[in-house]
Amino acid sequence: MAKGTGSAAVPVAGNDTVKAVTFLVAGLFIFSFQDVIVKLLSGTFPVHQLVVIRGLIATPLIFLYVHYDSGFQTLSVKRPLAHFLRSLCMFVSYISFYLALAAIPLTTAVALYFTAPLIITALSIPMLGEHVGWRRWLGVLFGFCGVIVILRPGGDALHWAALLPILAAASYGFAQMLGRRLGATDSASVMSFYSQIAFVYLGGAMALGAGLWPIEGASDGAVGFLVREWTMPSLLELAMIFTTGFIAAIGFVLLTQAYRVGEANKVAPFEYTVMIWAMLLSFIFFGTLPDMYTLIGAAMITASGIYVLSRERTNKESELKGRGPYQTRYAMK
């Protein structure tokens, strides 16, 4: 099962690590702008409006890529319920992460989200029956110590919305487990296509719920971003929202190709370069830099994540050759 892209049907086309890393870093750079756009618009529009429009733009683009990737005939899946459950988990993951962007710094949200590989390692035991040795458990524990450093429980800096990226990471972990199972028969592009459709319908359901049960006084932060009514965007704002759909499609293709042309175990650790883009774009667009606690915690999470990946590669070299120990959160969109 090709864990890098979630598809066993798509073989690795080669072993060009430099090209693969280039594709990966370029895709992550593009996706970072999506997070910036969402944060910029979070004070004006509801999250479900952004998700629905984004899905409407990305769905036909991913549909065309399915034809190139595995053929339209692969859209006929044998386990539609599993696809729905995976899409639901991905929806919860992205909604949670986007809500966090409305309330906490971009770099903090990204750093906390990258606990996902650690959560996936823990979930692989009950859901996939995998064995996790004590060294990897120490790596996971060290990573969650990094989370504690960032959150600083009991300190004035702790914001409840800082828990949302961790919820997003956990939801993504469940989606990844389902993706590993679905990847035995379905391509990453097919999974992404059905996720985009689910995002449109689930986002529409959220909009309906927000309209039927409005919450008074919730105008700012994550709560306001969740329950706010739909707003007519200006041409510039509409262009920004449309751009998120194109980013989702183009970034997905770049990251999928990254895991095709190189061994994913060598490529996956470079996903943490997204922290560089998050810090750079956060400074450019919002004039903010992470504090010392966030930097230390992010470094701990990154180090533990890379260590867990390296241990998986060491323990499962033959099984994971040419495949990723976990699926990129971006390519699974």
The model's pLDDT over 53-99, given as tens digits with 9 standing for 90+, comes to: 999 999 999 999 999 888 999 999 999 999 999 999 999 999 999 99
Higher pLDDT residue, 83 or 133?
Answer: 83
Q: Is 228 helix (H, G, I), strand (E, B) or coil?
A: coil
Considering only CA atoms, give the Rg of the chain. Answer: 19
Cα–Cα distance measured from residue 160 to residue 153, given in angstroms and rounded to the nearest whole number: 10
Cα–Cα distance measured from residue 325 to residue 308, given in angstroms and rounded to the nearest whole number: 9
Tell me the average pLDDT across 24-43. Answer: 94
Distances (CA, A) of 290 to 49, 111, 157, 221, 283: 29, 10, 12, 19, 9
Higher pLDDT residue, 84 or 9?
Answer: 84
Find where tokens 């650790």 sit. 269
Query: What does DSSP assign to residue 270?
Result: G
Report pLDDT for 148: 87
The token pair at 117 is 């590989």
Cα–Cα distance measured from residue 196 to residue 25, given in angstroms and rounded to the nearest whole number: 23
Report pLDDT for 1: 29
C-beta of residue 302 within 8 angstroms of C-beta of residue 242: no
Q: Phi/psi zone of residue 153: left (φ > 0), alpha (ψ -120 to 50 degrees), beta?
A: beta
244 pLDDT band (50/70/90 cuts)? very high
Cα–Cα distance measured from residue 124 to residue 117, given in angstroms and rounded to the nearest whole number: 10
Tell me the average pLDDT across 157-181. Answer: 85
Cα–Cα distance measured from residue 186 to residue 61, given in angstroms and rounded to the nearest whole number: 18
Instruction: Please report, as a single letter, which amino acid is at residue 317.
Output: E
Query: What does DSSP assign to residue 75?
Result: G
Tell me the average pLDDT across 207-231. Answer: 76
pLDDT digits (tens, 9 = 90+) for 263-312: 766 787 888 888 999 999 999 999 998 989 899 999 999 998 888 877 76
The length of the chain, given as a count of residues: 333
The token pair at 143 is 């990573």
pLDDT of 157 higher than 60: no
**Number of neighbours of residue 25 by Cβ within 10 angstroms:** 20
**Number of neighbours of residue 19 by Cβ within 10 angstroms:** 16
Cα–Cα distance measured from residue 23 to residue 243, given in angstroms and rounded to the nearest whole number: 20
How many angstroms separate the most distant Cα atoms in the chain? Answer: 57
Report pLDDT for 132: 73
Cα–Cα distance measured from residue 130 to residue 123, given in angstroms and rounded to the nearest whole number: 9
Separate counts of helices (H) and strands (E) for the chain: 14, 0
328 pLDDT band (50/70/90 cuts)? very low
Report pLDDT for 33: 96
214 pLDDT band (50/70/90 cuts)? low
Report pLDDT for 127: 64
C-beta of residue 303 within 8 angstroms of C-beta of residue 231: no
C-beta of residue 268 within 8 angstroms of C-beta of residue 328: yes
Report pLDDT for 261: 81
- Burial code (b: 16+ CB inside 10 Å, e: under 16) for 120-136 equals bbbbbeebeeeebeeeb
Phi, psi of 326 (to 5 degrees): -155, 160
Helix axes of 116-128 and 292-315: crossing angle, nearest 10 degrees: 40
The pLDDT mean for the chain works out to 82
Distances (CA, A) of 98 to 2, 195, 299, 305, 317: 28, 16, 22, 22, 36
